[in-house]
Structure formats: C-alpha cells, structure tokens
Amino acid sequence: MRPFLSHPFDDDKLKEECGVFGVIGMADASSFVALGLHALQHRGQEAGGIVSYDPEQGFNSARRFGYVRDNFTKADVMATLPGELAIGHVRYSTAGSKGSTAIRDVQPFFGEFSMGGAAIAHNGNLTNAAALRRELIERGSIFQSSSDSECIIHLMARSIQKTIPERIKDALRRVEGAFSVVAMTRTKLIGVRDPLGVRPLVLGRIGDHGWALSSETCALDIIGAEFIREIDPGEMVVIENNKVESFRPFSPAKSRFCIFEHVYFSRPDSILGGRSVYETRRQIGVELAREAPVEADLVCPVPDSGTPAAIGFAAESGIPFGLGITRNQYMGRTFIEPTEQIRNMGVRLKLNVNRALIKGKRVILVDDSVVRGTTSRKIKDMILDAGAAEVHFRIASPPTAWPCFYGVDTPEREKLLAATMSEDEMRDWIGVDSLKFISLNGLYRAAGEAAGRDPANPRYCDACFSGDYPVAPSDKIEEGFQMKAAQ
C-alpha cells in the first residue's frame, strides 16, 4: 500500500516522470547522488532509489518511498551504498502501476549479465513498451515490475553483444519514445539520450577526477560540479578512468526537445539548450502581455511556477507586480487528508490570499497551465472571496489539449479542459472575467525562436498543445487512441 496521498492542488498539474543522476570517480559517490536527487526532487516526489558499486562489496541498492531528504540523508542507509560509482532516480508513476506503486517499481533497475552486473535509471516513457513486454514474456522473460523501463534490462539480457555498453545500444535501438538513461557497470558510468532528445541530460565535472550525469544543471550546482555540456540527442557517453567517450548509436533525427521543460518541469535556475529557464519563463510573460493585454491594477503569480512569467507580464504591461497569493512551503504533496471537511478545503491548505493586497483590485493571475481547470476555479473563488473586483487569468502555455506519452503524467484526453472546450467556454466554466493563453508562436518566440513555430519543422516537441506527435504512440493507438488528423 502506498503511504502517501497527493494533494488536490498537485492533482491538477502535469507531472514529470522522474529525474536521473549519476557520479563516477568520487569517494562516497552515493552521497553526491543523494544531493543531486534532492535538487531534482521537483521531477519526482513519489519514490527514489540509488545503486552503488564497490569492488569489495559489489553492487548495493536502496529504494524508498517518499522524499530524498527523509531517506537518503540517514547515515545507516548511506553506509550501505559504498563506492566511487553510483546512480540514482526519483520518480512519479507515469508508467506502471499508477497510484499503487510497489517498491519493485522504483528504479534504478539492476541486472546480472555474463560479463557482470549493470544498473539503469530512465527518464521518459517508451511508447512501444506493451508490445515489447508481450514479446519478451513470450520468449521467457520474467518481469519483476510494472515499469516500462524494465524492458531495457530484458532487451540487454537477450543481446548477443560482448560488452554492456554494446548491449545497451542494442536494447535502446529496439525501443520507441523518449528516454534519457543513466546506467552503470562495475567500472563505467553511461548516459544516453533518445534520437529526438525529448528529455534533458547534462554532463558535469567534479574536481579533477569526478564526473556527473544529471537531468538538469541545477543538480550539478548543488554538488559543486562544473557544467560541461548537454548530452546531444542520439548520443551515448561512456565514462571510465577519467575519460569520456562519445558514440552515436542511432540513425540521425531532428531534435524535438520537450518545450514544457521550459514552461514548467525544469527548475528556473537550470540551463536548457543554452538558455536560462528563468529568462525563458520571464519572456513568456512579456509575450503574454503583448498578445493579451487587459486593464488591471495588479499582476499576481500563482506560486511558484507562475512567478517568472508574472514578473515578465508586469514589466511589459506596466501593471504593478504583487504577491497576492502565499504558498505554504511546509505543505508537501504527502499531506494525509483525514476527513471530508479537510479534503473540501482543497487549495486553501496550500495557498492563502493576501486580502489586504487583493481587496478592491482588478487582478491578473498568471499561471503556468490549465489541465483539468479544477484548481483554477478554486483559486478564482479565493481571490473573489478576498474582495477582488475582477479576476483575469493569463496562462503561460497554450491550451493543453492532448496527452503526453513521452514521460509526463497527463490525464486522458477527455479530462483535459482544452480538449472539450473553446477558450471562451473555459473562461465561463472557470468563472473569470477573462482567460487568455499564450499562443504557440508566442511560446516559441519566448524560447528563442524569433519567427515562431515552423509547422513543417518544429524545433520542440509540443504535442500536448498541437497534437503533433514526433513518435507515434503505438501502444496507445493499439488501445484505441485517436491521433490528430493530418492537416
């Protein structure tokens, strides 16, 4: 049974599947990994795991539910993870047993092969995992988890290649979808990105002899590592004996990095594609103010992800910025809601309105997205209850009308508000004076594409907004998912 229940505020947000981190060449590498995972906690708060290797004790692992700070800061746990090589993973359950995760689903996964053991941690989602799983089971594989990532271990086991890096290449050539992988053998730290580069992966250097692989640059900062570069889409790096080798095991493809990493998933202090995430989000607010101006007295972010865009909106519009909503920082996702009365308080447990600032004002609320719309309605009610004269929503992403199959936890399409309503219908349903989303072209401009989105050759994966899937989700199509008709 899962010990944690998510809070209703978080249930109306898109969630990244996970974060990965690995270190080689440092004594007590697992401690560095724990710090890195702590910096990546926003990418996965359900569970975490670390695998390490020590020549005397071999491979060791620890997997736990809950926050990194509650599990991997304990001396007795970290003492079981010795060695100069370790990888780790934090997760949400986008694939596997959603809502009823078993400890066996928690990565990294480990396999023992004829040439030695290997562990693997995966950020993303395999869109052909169901078909692969059926094939592997028919050929005798015995699965221990419900995770799509375990397919990679079984494909490695069936490869006839003589080294683990070659077996990883073999396995990943069979999978479809999105994957940023961090893996380890007894002597090597390995990182791989899928040919489209949907999910991020970066390389860092620690001192003279250590190296790190991470989902984001912010996790390199916490361990004092120097950001060297991003792993390229379709690239595999193998790090051993203080040397980094690069390979290109896949057919070339045009990069389609997930644009929602810029909007919401990544931390604002990270660097993506050479761009500051914070600066991109601030620029989204600038574009929003240009595209959807409105007369008002106050620009107020929905904390915390709406803050940079609200700062940009206020600066461009000349309307004062104010913190009209305060977030309870000590209220985690794991709050247990014991009674119906407490459950009905919903967002108020996590957000509170600054009544003295809001009263009598025409308020622009800036948020990162609208998914189901339920939280937007509750926040609107709170702002009106505090005496606001008008409430205007400005959303720092286009309408989310399509589910993601590449490692983001999105509802079924019929549960996405933008899939069933027009912008005006959403405005009326939420009950605000106005509701405007940034355009897809505006989002591209904010992310550095001055000409906006090129429909024939988009730089980013924006399927959740456009319905343009760079990799057909074959498993979901088999289940009956209808893709957008070609224009």
Annotated catalytic residues are: 18
Phi, psi of 353 (to 5 degrees): -90, 140
Query: Residue 79, Cβ neighbours under 10 Å: how many?
Result: 11
The helices-and-strands tally (H runs, E runs) of the chain is 18, 25
**33 and 220 in contact (C-beta within 8 Å)?**
no
Distance CA 184, CA 216 (A): 19
Q: For residues 213 and 219, is the Cβ–Cβ distance under 8 A? A: no
DSSP 33-65: HHHHHHHTGGG--SEEEEEEEETTTEEEEEEEE
Q: Is residue 25 within 8 Å of 225, Cβ to Cβ?
A: no
The DSSP call for residue 14 is -
Under a CB-based contact definition with an 8 Å cutoff, are residues 292 and 319 in contact? no
Apex CA 220: angle with CA 205 and CA 37, to 5°?
Answer: 125
Give residue 136's Cα distance to chain centre. 28
Could you tell me which of 18, 33, 465 has the C-alpha nearest to residue 260?
A: 465
Q: How far apart are CA 307 and CA 166, in angstroms?
A: 45
